Chain A
Amino acid sequence: MKTTRSTAPAPTAQDEYTVDVFTVVNGAPVQWRVDTRTTLLEALRDSSGLTGTKRGCDQGACGACTVHVDGARVVSCLMLAAQVDGRQVTTVEGLIDEEGRLHPLQEAFVRHDAFQCGFCTPGQLMSAVCLLREGRAGSDAEIREYMSGNLCRCGAYDNIVAAVREAAGGGA
């Protein structure tokens, strides 16, 4: 995880309970003027219309809302939008490349049927992308342990492991 710049400009508030957030989401600069209590999840979904990131609990316990902040996976329901001021956010909408091609993990998820209802899927993918980067796909047991922060109530775990294993082998 990158260290953050402590010199980032403090948000300039409209009124006491409003905050301006300048951030970069999926590579594009974004500005939110939001209620201070707005979570990153809410800002993404409601202010930016990026509804790919899902809410499964709003209590940090299911992983459906997983996104990347400065390249590290986090649960966006337990983070304030104000906390990503000056940082880089990546959501599932940012996984496809400029030509709209799927990320190798997205393709592997489809091929291995690594989802059923699909509700946990954006969070699983965001977690899995980091898992590969973290170098934690060395064995199935390792994949399972480090993917355990993403609940799948449909129970697609075996197929998720297979998809991640394949993507890891493919050097993704």
Chain B
Amino acid sequence: MRAFVYDRPDAVDEAVASVAADPQAAFLAGGTTQLDLMKDGVWTPDRLVDISRLPLRGILVESQQLKVGALTTMEQLAAEPVVAQRLTFVREALLAGATVQLRNMATIGGNLLQRTRCRYFRDPTVAACNRRSPDSGCAAVDGVARMHAVLGVDERCIALHASDVAVPLLAVEASVLVSGPSGQRRIPLSEFWVRADEGPSIENVLGHGDLITEIDVPLLPQGWRSGYLKVRDRASYEFALTSAAVAVQMDGDMIADIRIGLGGVGSVPWRAREAEEMLRGTHVDPVRFEQAGRATMASAFTVPGTAFKVDLAVRTLSRQLITMTEATR
């Protein structure tokens, strides 16, 4: 790592001010993305502002939603009983991500802000990476791509947003609370990330010095079921090839309401709205499930190494829809 000044302010506004004042400063939460990138030499801040001891840790359970402190770790959120009951797919996505060691360190705020795992992005000796250095090209498009995205991408960048938990959080319409140099604001996750095909070098709408303080997660209403299916090569400890977060409210064998998020496929966590619309108010029908999946994947941009993901994502979604609608049939 390049030398940096280490700063550990006691209050949110100090932390924001500290980063805002120094264009070369960065926040440090659990460090599992930040320090990794610094070791790789991809990101070389002169100042690290350690926010890990700010009083932003913990979960407040309200009747309709959870207020999750941004520094709550993945393990802490997974252990919250209300999450198991009312946000099953959030718990499953958390526990399917990384390892216990990493989940003890990784914060929810940091998870939403994790950077792509694209190996070309993470190797500064590779010149061509539009995400790392604008207008330099994209080594992955002609290179080895498997853990890359097929939605929200084009030939300028096929970087995947590899978060698991972000997928159900997006599906359930969570939002983040941000304290920044110009005050507080709330950003729905649906407006939080920027797709690679809308500009490969910008990943989200946060400005320099913006600090996520809280994630507000609506609870699924009583009677909803949800689950997260993650498909990967290894049985554990691997990013998703594809994943599906599905929450349904059934009415007999009819899908009264539904939320779908897809992981492993998008440059941003992917909400499958077309699929939701195609399925809402319909009877359980695997053929229709597949059509809904195909419709979602219709706009895929693939390279040889990622072409299989289109079919796999359709199957992953279909399987998860079958599982989620089965018990109530």
A79 touches B105 (CB 8 A): yes
Q: Does any Cβ of A come within 8 Å of B104's Cβ? A: yes
**Chain A nearest CB, measured from B271 CB (Å):** 29
**If the complex has contacts A66-B101, A130-B100, A134-B100, are A78 and B36 also in contact, measured as CB distance less than 8 A?**
yes
Q: Which of A21-65 contact B (CB under 8 A)?
A: 35-37, 39, 58-60, 63
- Kindly provide the distance from the CB of A39 to the nearest chain B CB, expressed in whole angstroms: 7
Number of A-B contacts (CB under 8 A): 102
| In the complex, chain B residues whose CB is within 8 Å of the CB of A131 | 100
Which of A4, A17, A36, A78 has the most chain B CB atoms closer than 10 A to its own CB? Answer: A78
For A83, the chain B residues whose CB sits under 8 A away are 28, 31, 50, 52
| Chain B nearest Cβ from A164, distance in angstroms | 13
Interface string of B1-22 (1 = CB under 8 A from A): 1111110101000000000000
Closest-by-CB residue of A relative to B40 is: A59
Asked whether any CB of chain A lies closer than 8 Å to the CB of B237, the reply is yes
Specify which of B1, B3, B32 is in contact with A60 (CB 8 Å cutoff). B32
Known A-B contacts A11-B6, A37-B1; the reply to A6 vs B100 at CB < 8 A is no
Interface pair A36/B4, CB less than 8 Å apart: yes
Q: Does A92 contact B (CB under 8 A)?
A: no
Contact residues in B for A85 (Cβ distance below 8 Å): 8
Shortest A120–chain B CB gap in Å is: 13
| Contact assessment for A3 and B58 in the assembled complex, using a CB-CB cutoff below 8 Å | yes
Residues of B within 8 A of A60 (CB): 32, 36, 102
The answer to whether the Cβ of A75 comes within 8 Å of any Cβ in the partner chain is: yes
CB closest residue in chain B, given A126? B101
Per a CB cutoff under 8 Å, which of A7, A11, A17, A39 touches B4?
Answer: A17
C-alpha gap A63/B101 in the complex (Å): 8
| Given A79-B31, A80-B28, A82-B50, A36:B100 Cβ within 8 A | no
B100 touches A78 (CB 8 A): no
Residues in A whose Cβ lies below 8 Å from that of B36: 59-60, 78
CA distance A10 to B14 in the complex (A): 13
Residues in A neighbouring B1, C-beta threshold 8 A = 37
User: CA–CA, A78 to B235, complex, Å?
Assistant: 24
Q: Does A139 contact B (CB under 8 A)?
A: no
Q: Does A90 contact B (CB under 8 A)?
A: no
Question: In chain A between 92 and 145, which residues have their CB closer than 8 angstroms to a CB of chain B?
Answer: 127, 130-131, 134, 144-145
- Scan B84-101; emit 1 where CB is below 8 A from any A CB, else 0: 000000000000001111
Provide the bound-state CA to CA distance between A168 and B48, in Å: 41
Q: Provide the A137-172 mask, 1 if CB < 8 A to any CB of B, else 0.
A: 000000011101100000000000000000000000
Bound together, the chains give a CA A72 to CA B103 distance in angstroms of 10
Contact B31 A72 (CB under 8 A): no
> For the complex, is B73 an interface residue (Cβ under 8 Å from A)?
yes
In the assembled complex, which residues on chain A have CB atoms less than 8 Å from the CB atom of B98? 149
Instruction: Give the residues in chain A near B290, CB-CB below 8 Å.
Output: none
Given contacts A80-B28, A82-B6, contact A4 B52 (CB under 8 A): yes
Closest chain A CB from B16 CB (angstroms): 16
Shortest B147–chain A CB gap in Å is 14
CA distance A6 to B234 in the complex (A): 38
Given A60-B32, A79-B105, A134-B100, A149-B237 contact (CB < 8 Å): yes
Nearest-neighbor residue (CB-CB) of B105 within chain A: A74
Contacts A144-B236, A146-B100 aside, 9 further interface pairs with beta carbons under 8 A come to A6-B54, A6-B55, A10-B8, A17-B4, A36-B5, A59-B39, A78-B31, A82-B6, A149-B102
